Amino acid sequence: MKALEEKILKEGTVLPGNVLKVGSFLNQQMDSDFIMEIGKEIARLYEGTGVTRILTIESSGIALAVAAGIAMHVPTVFAKKHRSANMPKAVYTAPVYSFTHHETYEIAVAREYLPAGEKVLVVDDFLANGNAVRGLMQIINEAGAELVGCAIAIEKGFQGAGDQLRKEGVRIDSLAIIDAMTDESVTFRAQ
């Protein structure tokens, strides 16, 4: 998605530890119109696949996932990273090591929001080492639902997880794939 690459070049900054900061349009401040454009692009990519539900992980995946859910007219569910009192007892869980927080969370999805047989599209803002996606895949599997694919805004291709998942037969659609990034430059994979 050309517009996303342009936005990354214009507004993104590279932080130590291979972290790309996109707080001005995707993470902390969200460019609402642009997020809806991403949602529509995801809907276009998955047209005709019969997706019945979108699954993401809190918190930064939620905006994109809801935009895709609106464009596809399906519910959006997010995995929680922290247990809260109002969380139902019947949950699916999976451990996920956080790339940005350097700790392992137990993510949880209420069973009632992920019925068996659902055709699930995973949506997230970034794909780095693949831990978030793999945790969500584990939950989908446990629920007896079907993973249709993963739609990612920004894949850091140089970290390898996206290509590994593709090799394993998982459908991964990333709207921008970064093959290299330094303080001065970001290089995208042609796709």
Q: Does 20 bind ligand 5GP (CB under 6 A)?
A: yes
Characterize 90-114 residue by residue with b for buried, 16 or more Cβ atoms within 10 angstroms of its Cβ, and e for exposed. ebbbbebeebeeeeebebbbebebb
CB 20 within 8 A of CB 178: yes
Closest of 68, 64, 79, 75 to residue 30, by C-alpha: 64
Choice from 52, 93, 129, 138 touching ligand 5GP (CB under 6 A): 129
Compose the 69-98 pattern: x for residues touching ligand 5GP by CB under 6 A, - for all others: ------------------------------
What minimum distance in Å lies between the beta carbon of 181 and ligand 5GP?
9
Q: Does 19 bind ligand 5GP (CB under 6 A)?
A: yes
Choice from 62, 94, 107, 130 touching ligand 5GP (CB under 6 A): 130
What minimum distance in Å lies between the beta carbon of 21 and ligand 5GP?
6
Q: What is the CA radius of gyration of the chain?
A: 16
Positions in 27-66 near ligand 5GP (CB under 6 A): 27, 57, 60-61
What minimum distance in Å lies between the beta carbon of 19 and ligand 5GP?
4
What φ, ψ does residue 160 adopt, rounded to 5°?
85, -15
Beta strand 146-156 with 104-110 is unpaired
Q: Does 164 bind ligand 5GP (CB under 6 A)?
A: no
Is omega for the bond preceding 60 within 30 degrees of 0, making it cis? no
Binding residues (CB under 6 A) for ligand 5GP: these are: 19-22, 27, 57, 60-61, 99-100, 124-132, 161
